[in-house]
Structure 1
Amino acid sequence: MMGILMEGFGLTAQIFVITLVGSLPLGIVVALARMSRFKPLAWLAQLYISILRGTPLMLQLMAIMFGPYYLLGLNMGSDWKFWACAIGFILNYAAYFAEIYRSGIQSIPRGQYEAATVLGYSKAQTFMKIVLPQVIKRILPAMGNEIITLVKDTSLAFVLGIMEMFSAAKALAASEVSMVPYAIAALVYWAFCLIIEFILNRVEKRLDYYHD
Structure 2
Amino acid sequence: MSDIRVLVVDDDFMVARIHSGYVARVPGFRVVSVAHSGADALTAAAELRPDLVLLDIYLPDMSGLEVLKQLHGVDVLMISAARDVPTVREAMRGGAVNYLIKPFTAAALTDRLQQYADTRRRLTAIGPEARQDDVDRLFGSPKTSVPMPKGLSAATCELVAETLREAGRDLSATETAELTGLSRVSVRRYLEYLCVAGQAEFRPRYGTAGRPEHRYRWLG
Query: Scaled by the length of structure 1, what TM-score is found?
Result: 0.24
Specify which structure has the higher proportion of helix. 1
Query: Scaled by the length of structure 2, what TM-score is found?
Result: 0.23
